[in-house]
């Protein structure tokens, strides 16, 4: 019935297709199909990349390229001008280096906790526990939330008169103004990021766990291997390719973190939770005058890091798919 309905439509398409095949030949026809997407991709992806390069090597607060002056590598030189890279106070662009340090710590902690907790959760959810489907949904639910919603939820929980402090006071403990302490603010930024994204990585690891053949575990049981040994010698090695993919994906996502932390803490207290994307955003768009050059240079440095991380991911993926 359906076929009968759509066949006149297919005939309609058939005619122009035959014309295009005759006009361009069968091999070049692929380009015709790709053209609309290439145009969109070129306009909204490649062109901005090229523009970013142009901005990084030019100065002034003007937005139109023809009004900007060429400054060579000055924007990069200023960003990288440091007496001691471990001490942002010795750098010309101290806020950039604070954001680099924060981002480095953020990805170490966030990725560490993310992978560890996702693995633990996946292991638990892979067992035959009661209400397994419900718990899988619960852990995945935060992934569906908008980053701003995640930030606001935790902001309300952690504010001076928030639910967490009410709970602490209810059990006789002193309340804490979490967002005034740089260490607590950083901890909660990592926490909310892990909470928001853990479900996604748990799902990947769960799929990895379910792909491990059952007979390997049966053999382990026959050999009287204890659960810890089974985990260490069977689960972990066989899950390693999936783990590596998760690790690299989490790493890239960690470097790109902006929205939830920005909406949560505004990068504060001071610059304690300012991550590199926030630095780029504030330098290029929220400040005055808008320093498009330094912002573009910083984003190119970030892009370089992301290219390296993506390369690692591709290498790992190829290696694991080749066995």
Residue numbers of the site for another protein (CB under 8 A)?
Answer: 59-64, 89, 92, 94-95, 98, 160, 177, 179-180, 182, 185, 265-274, 278, 282, 285-291, 293
Alpha-carbon distance 205 to 124, whole Å? 11
Closest CB to another protein among 180 and 236? 180
- Cα separation values, 143 from 22, 146, 200, 265, 275, Å: 48, 8, 6, 20, 21
Least distance from C-beta 167 to another protein, angstroms?
19
Closest CB to another protein among 118 and 265? 265
Helices 182-210 and 132-140: angle between axes, nearest 10 degrees:
130
Closest CB to another protein among 200 and 262? 262
Residue corresponding to tokens 């050999």: 223
Closest CB to another protein among 15 and 64? 64
Least distance from C-beta 287 to another protein, angstroms?
6
Element housing 308 (H / E):
helix 292-321
Closest CB to another protein among 122 and 158? 158
Asked whether 179 and 159 are in contact (CB, 8 A), the reply is yes
Least distance from C-beta 184 to another protein, angstroms?
11
Structure tokens at 176: 């804490």
Least distance from C-beta 270 to another protein, angstroms?
4
- Cα separation values, 76 from 96, 133, 301, Å: 11, 51, 9
Closest CB to another protein among 14 and 87? 87
Closest CB to another protein among 63 and 308? 63
Residue corresponding to tokens 């701003």: 148
Torsion of CA 34, 302, 305, 89, to 10 degrees: 180
Least distance from C-beta 61 to another protein, angstroms?
5
Asked whether 174 and 94 are in contact (CB, 8 A), the reply is no
Alpha-carbon distance 230 to 106, whole Å? 32
Least distance from C-beta 192 to another protein, angstroms?
15
Least distance from C-beta 28 to another protein, angstroms?
37
């Amino acid at each position: 019935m359906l076929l009968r309905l759509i066949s006149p439509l297919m005939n309609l398409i058939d005619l122009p297709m035959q014309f295009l095949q005759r006009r361009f030949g069968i091999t070049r026809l692929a380009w015709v199909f790709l053209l609309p997407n290439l145009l969109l991709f070129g306009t909204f992806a490649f062109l901005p990349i090229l523009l970013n390069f142009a901005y990084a090597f030019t100065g002034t607060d003007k937005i139109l390229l023809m009004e900007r002056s060429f400054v060579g590598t000055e924007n990069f030189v200023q960003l990288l001008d440091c007496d001691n890279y471990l001490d942002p106070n010795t750098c010309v662009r101290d806020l950039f280096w604070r954001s680099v340090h924060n981002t480095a710590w953020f990805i170490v902690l966030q990725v560490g906790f993310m992978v560890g907790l996702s693995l633990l959760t996946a292991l638990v959810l892979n067992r035959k526990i009661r209400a397994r489907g419900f718990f899988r949904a619960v852990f995945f639910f935060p992934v569906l939330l908008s980053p701003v919603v995640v930030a606001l939820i935790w902001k309300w929980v952690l504010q001076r008169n928030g639910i967490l402090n009410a709970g602490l006071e209810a059990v006789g403990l002193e309340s804490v103004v979490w967002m005034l302490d740089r260490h607590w603010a950083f901890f909660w930024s990592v926490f909310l990021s892990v909470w928001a994204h853990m479900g996604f990585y748990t799902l990947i690891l769960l799929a990895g766990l379910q792909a491990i053949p059952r007979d390997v575990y049966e053999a382990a049981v026959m050999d009287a291997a204890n659960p810890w040994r089974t985990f260490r010698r069977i689960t972990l090695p066989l899950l390693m390719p999936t783990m590596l993919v998760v690790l690299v994906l989490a790493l890239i996502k960690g470097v790109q973190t902006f929205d939830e932390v920005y909406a949560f803490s505004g990068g504060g207290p001071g610059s304690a939770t300012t991550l590199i994307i926030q630095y780029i955003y504030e330098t290029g768009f929220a400040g005055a005058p808008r320093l498009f050059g330094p912002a573009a240079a910083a984003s190119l440095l970030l892009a370089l890091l992301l290219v390296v991380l993506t390369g690692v991911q591709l290498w790992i993926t190829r290696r694991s798919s080749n066995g």
